[in-house]
Amino acid sequence: MQAKFTRILLSFFLMSLIVDQSYATHIVGGEINYRCLGNDQYELTMTVFRDCFNGIPDFDDPAHIGIFDINDNLVSTIAWNGVLDMDFTYKEELDPTLSDPCLVVPPNVCVEVTTYIDTITLPFLAGGYNIVYQRCCRNMTIANIINPDATGATYNIFITEKALLECNSSAVFKEWPPTYICVNQPLIFDHSAIDAEGDSIVYRTCVPFDGGEQTSCLPNNQQVPCFDPLQPCGPIPCPPFNPPFNPVIWNSPFHLGDMLGGVPLTIDPNTGLLTATPNIIGQFVVGICLDEFRDGELISSTRRDFQYNVGECGQTTSAFFAPEVHCEDFNVQFINGSSHADEFLWYFDYPDDLNATSTFTNPSYTYPDTGVYTVMLVAEPGNDCTDTSFQDIYLQYPTLTAVYDYEFVGCTDSLIIVVTDLSYDDFSTVVAWDWELRSSQGFLLGTSNEQHPTFTVTTTTIVTLELTVTAENGCEVFISESFPAQVFSSDILPDQIIGCLGDSVEMNPDPYLNATYEWSPPDGLSDPFSPNPKAFAETSMTYSVYVVNEFDCEIFDTTELVVIDDIPFVDAFANPDTIYIGQSSQLISTDNSNYTYEWFPAETLDDPNIFNPIANPIETTDYNVVVTDFNGCTNTATVRVVVLNPPCIEPHIFLPNAFTPNNDGENDVLRLLGNNIDEMYLTIYNRWGQKVFESNDPDKGWDGTFKGEALAPDVYGFYLQVRCFNGDDFFKKGNIALLK
């Protein structure tokens, strides 16, 4: 019994590690059976089914089985305080089968099953026993009950008092129902059971039970070990919740008399024959019960709870694609579009040449000559589920040529492209044209089915003109060409161009390609015939430009160059302007909310884009600040920060050899002095070698105390280690006199 309790605690510990996963949906179905072995010994068998895809976590290990009496109380004298732990052993995946061998189950259906078996002592008990297992939760995709992902399952079997007295074994269903059934297809299933004693069995549909909780009842999602306390809790309740059990809540319009939709599911009470014709695709939970009678008296009841997956059932279908008219060469590629088939037999010239065949999935075949050929594809040849498809193809010599020409008409604010089709066929007539004009980004700019279309482009881009021509005999040819389509704007220059006094200003940063420019007046311009000349801003003036592109489109435009002669004022200084290495300096320039700032070099500044950055140079540095006002005009100021870097030696590093901690305000604290100290370590010992002070901070000195008590005047030894900002090291040891 001690080993059993240890196993329970270990099980609880392992479950607590995966507690977040315990609430996932996965329950599909299950049932419990029993077999009398004699001498009050019973073999319990429980079968549980789970969804392979949604099944998180796995099957319970162990599964907690509750033993209840006729008054719905846990029988604490049975097993471990009324709970039998049944160990998980193995699982296997069910093979979904259909009654029609030509129907195919989709690949997204997967169900696993496991069987728990254990032996238990059940002495005679007035009223009998109710054997119970509970688990939350069901698949969230179940359609016929409310909140399936928050609804658990209860699997139970009732052993009556008469069954105990007469050592009865429960009736056992012969087969588990199919996990997948076809929508709009009749379901006929032998759901009968076998009883070892030959008792009478009555079958009925029954409402499945809920069971377990979606989440834990303890803080922080912690699981409850069995009997600590003795309280059902969580998705794996141990012990299970007491009877009576709550039924699942049907999702309208489903109910006990119609659990699937379509022709309702019914079971013959005498034969156990289950029939239905579902007409809704989805997952549905179903309950079937059998009552076992002996001499007209109920001796045992078995409840089975399971899930049907209702969906489309595929059937072998032959289908393929090939061009009806083939004009390029005599080699034809065939694309297989068959479904639910793995083997194929092609006939490329049926029935004239039965030797022209292939078993490839997507074959190609080279025909000997032009003409009309019948192609036949047999899917799953030699199978009872075979299917066949046919298509005629017409092969002929390529005689169609696609060609076109184009010209531009107008180009200011929009560009008109006039296209002339020049396509021809030596032996047929061109009867159809399919034009598409696309931008360089792939956007469709226009379509047409005219022979000689016209397109309008409103934005300069590289366009691609595509043409598919079709001849009267069905042959098609495709061509495309890309070319620049340049649209001139009648307003190419801004009304004003702002320039700062003395600056070199670009007059046209985005010029047209393949166009000539002429600017006037030429005064102040770098090149009056350049697409983008530079104007040297000395005085404001108006410029005009005359532009002609390669299509002889003309544009005339003007702009005013406005010269700003109010250069922004800027001054700068450093505080302090001389520092020791490792120290900082505050740089300050003119503070103006209309300015933007750029300091450089920026590497040793905390923010190079403010008027007052902090500088941390390691050597003497000249800092330049460039300010830009709202007109874009700039000015520059420079400030120098001198960096002193004394050597890592005395007297630049100085530790006094005596001090007087007498609280007179003079020489009360022993401190290390030096402006070049990056790191330090100072330790002080008394004459007996006891450490009375140590510090890594130059600003932390010794006040002559140890553990809060003032030390007597004496000579103390010290050890000093310093690293300077230049990377050099300094060491010293000696004596310090503490005086009063």
**Strand 180-182 to 297-311 pairing:** parallel
- CA-CA distance, 380 to 339, in Å (whole number)? 10
**Strand 400-401 to 331-333 pairing:** unpaired
The pTM for the full model equals: 0.48
Rg (CA), the chain: 47
Q: Provide mean pLDDT across the span 495-508.
A: 88
Contact 116, 86 (CB under 8 A): yes
- Tens of pLDDT, residue by residue over 62-99, are 999 999 999 999 999 999 889 999 999 888 887 766 65
Q: Which helix (H) or strand (E) holds 163?
A: helix 161-165
Q: For the ranges 45-49, 105-109, 307-311, 463-467, which has the lowest average pLDDT?
A: 105-109
Residues in Cβ contact with 336 at an 8 Å cutoff, skipping those fewer than 6 apart: 319, 320, 344, 361, 362, 377
Contact 682, 715 (CB under 8 A): no
Q: What percent of the chain has pLDDT over 90?
A: 63
Q: How confident is the model at residue 11 (pLDDT cuts 50, 70, 90)?
A: very low
Q: What confidence score (pLDDT) does residue 481 get?
A: 95
Q: What confidence score (pLDDT) does residue 140 get?
A: 83
CA distances from 610 to 256, 260, 358, 628 (A): 77, 73, 78, 12
Half-sphere exposure of 100 (CA within 13 A, CB side): 15
Q: Which helix (H) or strand (E) holds 6?
A: helix 2-17
Q: What confidence score (pLDDT) does residue 14 get?
A: 30
Residues in Cβ contact with 470 at an 8 Å cutoff, skipping those fewer than 6 apart: 430, 431, 432, 433, 434, 476
Coil, helix or strand at residue 258: strand
Exposure pattern of 348-367 as b/e (b: 16+ CB <10 Å)?
bbbeeeeebbbeeeebebeb
Quick one: 572-644 is in which CATH superfamily?
A: Immunoglobulins (2.60.40.10)
Q: What confidence score (pLDDT) does residue 228 get?
A: 54
Q: What is the DSSP string of 477-527?
A: EEEEEEEEE--B-S--S-SEEEEETT-EEES-SSPPTTEEEEEES-TTBS-
Phi and psi angles of residue 20, each rounded to the nearest 5 degrees, phi first:
-65, -30
Q: Which residue has the tokens 């370590």?
A: 681
Q: How confident is the model at residue 408 (pLDDT cuts 50, 70, 90)?
A: confident
Identify which of 78, 75, 71, 60 has the alpha carbon closest to the alpha carbon of residue 15. 60
More confident residue, 43 or 412: 43
- Residues paired with residue 461 on neighbouring β-strands, in sequence order: 485
Quick one: 496-564 is in which CATH superfamily?
A: Immunoglobulins (2.60.40.10)
Q: How confident is the model at residue 9 (pLDDT cuts 50, 70, 90)?
A: very low
Q: What confidence score (pLDDT) does residue 396 get?
A: 87
Exposure pattern of 207-231 as b/e (b: 16+ CB <10 Å)?
bbbbbbbbebeeeeeebbbbbeeee
Q: For the ranges 114-118, 324-328, 574-578, which has the lowest average pLDDT?
A: 324-328
Q: Provide mean pLDDT across the span 95-119.
A: 75
**What is the architecture, at CATH level 2, of domain 658-738?**
Sandwich (2.60)
Q: For the ranges 212-226, 314-328, 370-384, 683-697, which has the lowest average pLDDT?
A: 212-226
Fold matches, 496-564 and 572-644? yes
Residues in Cβ contact with 52 at an 8 Å cutoff, skipping those fewer than 6 apart: 93, 110, 111, 112
Quick check: 277 pLDDT over 80? yes
- CA-CA distance, 340 to 342, in Å (whole number)? 7
- CA-CA distance, 706 to 336, in Å (whole number)? 93
Most confident of 23-32, 44-53, 98-107: 44-53
Mean pLDDT for all residues in the chain: 88
Coil, helix or strand at residue 15: helix
Q: Which residue has the tokens 């078993």?
A: 359
Q: What is the DSSP string of 599-631?
A: EES-TTBS-TTSSS-EE--SS-EEEEEEEE-TT
Q: What confidence score (pLDDT) does residue 234 get?
A: 81
Coil, helix or strand at residue 162: helix
**Strand 496-500 to 554-564 pairing:** parallel
Q: Provide mean pLDDT across the span 626-638.
A: 92
DSSP 340: S
Q: Provide mean pLDDT across the span 446-464.
A: 93
Contact 654, 722 (CB under 8 A): no
Identify which of 540, 537, 517, 515 has the alpha carbon closest to the alpha carbon of residue 528. 517
- CA-CA distance, 402 to 475, in Å (whole number)? 11
Q: What confidence score (pLDDT) does residue 46 get?
A: 96
Q: What confidence score (pLDDT) does residue 225 get?
A: 55
Q: What confidence score (pLDDT) does residue 93 get?
A: 83
Q: What percent of the chain has pLDDT over 70?
A: 92
More confident residue, 631 or 253: 253
Q: Which region holds residue 626: left if phi is over 0, alpha if psi is between -120 and 50, else beta?
A: beta
Quick check: 391 pLDDT over 90? yes
Quick check: 217 pLDDT over 70? no
Quick check: 407 pLDDT over 60? yes
Q: What confidence score (pLDDT) does residue 223 get?
A: 52
- How many residues comprise the chain? 740
The angle formed by the CA atoms of residues 470, 471 and 476, to the nearest 5 degrees, is 40
Bond before 264 cis per omega within 30 degrees: no
Q: What confidence score (pLDDT) does residue 340 get?
A: 83
Fold for 316-395, please state it.
Immunoglobulin-like (2.60.40)
The number of beta carbons lying within 10 Å of the beta carbon of residue 133 is 27
Contact 634, 568 (CB under 8 A): yes
DSSP 645: -
Q: Which helix (H) or strand (E) holds 4?
A: helix 2-17
Quick check: 531 pLDDT over 50? yes
Note the CATH number of domain 400-485: 2.60.40.10
More confident residue, 641 or 415: 641
Q: For the ranges 157-161, 245-249, 436-440, 496-500, which has the lowest average pLDDT?
A: 496-500
Q: Dihedral through CA 681, CA 687, CA 688, CA 694, nearest 10?
A: -20
Burial of 20 by CB count in 10 Å (0-12 exposed, 13-18 middle, 19+ buried)? exposed
Q: What confidence score (pLDDT) does residue 311 get?
A: 83
Q: How confident is the model at residue 15 (pLDDT cuts 50, 70, 90)?
A: very low
Quick check: 569 pLDDT over 90? yes
- Tell me the torsion sign for CA atoms 660, 663, 665, 669: positive
Q: Which residue has the tokens 């003079």?
A: 666
Domain boundaries, the chain: 2-311, 316-395, 400-485, 496-564, 572-644, 658-738
- Tell me the torsion sign for CA atoms 593, 599, 605, 606: positive
Q: Which residue has the tokens 């700068």?
A: 572
Identify which of 206, 209, 213, 214 has the alpha carbon closest to the alpha carbon of residue 246. 209
Phi and psi angles of residue 44, each rounded to the nearest 5 degrees, phi first:
-95, 135
